[in-house]
Each structure stands twice: as C-alpha cells, then as structure tokens.
C-alpha cells in the first residue's frame, strides 16, 4: 500500500517553531533593505520622469475679451545637461505641442553646466528645437543657472538667450511684451548680475492687464512692486524635490520658505505661483513630481 504523503495534514499536527529575536531582527532588516531599495529606485527612476499636469484658472484684472479662456502653459527649470535625460524633455515638449497652447512661458534655468564648467551648448540646441510654440507668443526669462559659473557670467547668459531665441523663445530681459493687450513683464534672475526688476517694474503701467515672470520667488518680498496687484509666475525651487509626508521640503534654495511650490496669496493682493520644475538639478524626487502647468486665462471678477 502506498504511503500517504499528505503534507498539509502532517504539518497541521505540528506547531510552528518559535521566532527568535535573532530571526525577527533578520526579517525586519531584510524588509528595511528591500523597502529602502524600492524607495531609492522610485526616487531616482520613476518620480523624476512622472510628470504632473496641473490645470488651473489664471484670473487677470482687465483681461482683454480676446484672451478669455485661452491657454497659457508654464514650463520651468528644464536644466538641460548631464543630470536630465534629453529624451524625457523632448517627449514633454512634444506633449505640450500636442495641446496647441495659445501662449507658452518659460520661467528660467534652461541648463546645468557640464562638470567641467562649460555650457551644454550642443544639447541645448538639439533639445530646444522641440520646444513648444504658443499660437500667440512663446516667451521666457533667464534663471540663475543660465548665468554659468557662480551665476555671474554675462557672456554665458547671452549665449543661452541667443540659443533660446533661435528656438523661437522670445527672452524678456528686463522688459515687457504685449500679447493681444496683455502686458507680460519679465526680468533677469535675482541672483545674477543683470537683475533689473526694480527698473522694469517702475517703468510698467499696472493699470493695464499684466502678468509677471520672475524666476526666483524671493523677489516678491522686495519693496519694488509699487501698486501691482496681479499674478507672478516663478520657478527656481523645484518644490524642494524631496518632501517627507506631513512635513515641508527640508532643502529649499530660497530665503522665504513659504514659497516652495504652488499658489501663494500675498497680503497686498498679489498672487504668486511657483512651478515645481520639469527638470532637476539632481535626479531625485520624492513626493514632488515634475510639473507642467496649464493655465486658463479668465477675467478677474471685481471685488
């Protein structure tokens, strides 16, 4: 007669061996290592390329009727260079182009320097060929990285501006541009040697419908805004790139830590929007996905 090898019934009559402290610690350590490896992979290979498309209205006082419900896409901080994959940026640009936006604005930091301190000129030229064009206008400003070494190289900024202009991006260097009656003001970066915010703001007529592009959000705390009561679109912070649950990002390259990301209403009637960046200075993101912002232009209702 064959022997019955019923393993389940045989095992059911036994008690599991006790879990020793040593075995328990091994299991905990193994779970920790596996979890850490998983988080590490996610933060390096998944979230840096997992774009969040943010849709929101952008109310502007006195907005011309022709611009109502038009789309304005904000792109910021692409950081073309060794840290950001060219294909990722090109695919993102192509995605925006498919939306056929009316306006596209870029709020600074086209590049990250090569490790030897040189500009990634060839990469910029290749990648920016795919930069999306707005049907009405494509505008941009320079960020601190666009000023090269120690953010102080005027010649580097001129090269970056030229490459961007060749790609169809009109760079606002301390000046304004009217688009169908909307005054769009842009100035060079706060940390650079050509910051002209005070001058261009003093020369602007804020009785007209206005939108301001400013790379570093710390500028909103300077006493240079006069009677401006509109929106300021910024970048620079990348949202901190790492944000633990229930806490703010531990590292932000700004003085006022309120201005990490998203919409911030200021006490004097101005409104700030800080884009979390499409690219990154280091390829790591946790709980701070890269962002493309799609604004719908609407007329601000009178109080």
Rounded to two decimals, the pTM is: 0.86
CA distance 237 to 54: 17
**100: its two tokens:** 């056929």
CA distance 288 to 240: 7
Residue 211, burial from CB neighbour count under 10 angstroms (0-12, 13-18, 19+): buried
| Banded pLDDT at 41 (limits 50, 70, 90) | confident
The per-residue pLDDT for range 243-271, each reduced to its tens digit, is 988 888 898 999 999 999 999 999 899 99
Looking at every residue in the chain, the average pLDDT score rounds to 88
The per-residue pLDDT for range 76-101, each reduced to its tens digit, is 999 999 999 999 999 999 999 999 99
| Banded pLDDT at 303 (limits 50, 70, 90) | low
């Amino acid at each position: 007669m064959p022997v019955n090898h019923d393993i389940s019934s045989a095992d059911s009559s036994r008690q599991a061996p006790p879990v020793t402290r040593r075995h328990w610690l091994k299991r905990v350590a193994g779970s920790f290592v596996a979890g850490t490896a998983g988080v590490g992979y996610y933060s390096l290979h998944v979230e840096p390329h997992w774009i969040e498309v943010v849709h929101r209205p952008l109310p502007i006082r006195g907005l011309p009727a022709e611009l109502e419900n038009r789309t304005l896409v904000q792109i910021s901080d692409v950081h073309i260079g060794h840290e950001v994959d060219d294909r990722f940026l090109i695919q993102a640009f192509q995605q925006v182009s498919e939306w056929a936006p009316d306006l596209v604005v870029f709020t600074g930091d086209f590049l990250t320097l090569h490790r030897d301190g040189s500009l990634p000129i060839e990469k910029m030229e290749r990648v920016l060929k795919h930069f999306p064009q707005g049907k009405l206008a494509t505008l941009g400003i320079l960020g601190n990285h666009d000023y090269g070494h120690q953010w102080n190289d005027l010649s580097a900024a001129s090269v970056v501006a030229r490459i961007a202009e060749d790609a169809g991006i009109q760079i606002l260097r301390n000046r304004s541009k009217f688009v169908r009656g909307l005054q769009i003001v842009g100035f060079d970066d706060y940390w650079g040697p050509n910051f002209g915010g005070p001058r261009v703001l003093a020369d602007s007529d804020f009785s007209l419908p206005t939108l301001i592009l400013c790379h570093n959000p710390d500028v909103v705390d300077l006493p240079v805004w006069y009677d401006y009561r509109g929106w300021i679109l910024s970048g620079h912070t990348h949202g901190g790139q790492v944000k633990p649950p229930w806490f703010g990002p531990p590292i932000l390259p700004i003085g006022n830590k309120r201005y990490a990301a998203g919409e911030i209403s200021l006490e004097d009637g101005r409104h700030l929007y800080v884009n979390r960046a499409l690219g990154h200075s280091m390829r790591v993101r946790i709980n701070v996905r890269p962002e493309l912002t799609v604004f719908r232009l609407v007329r601000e209702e009178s109080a």
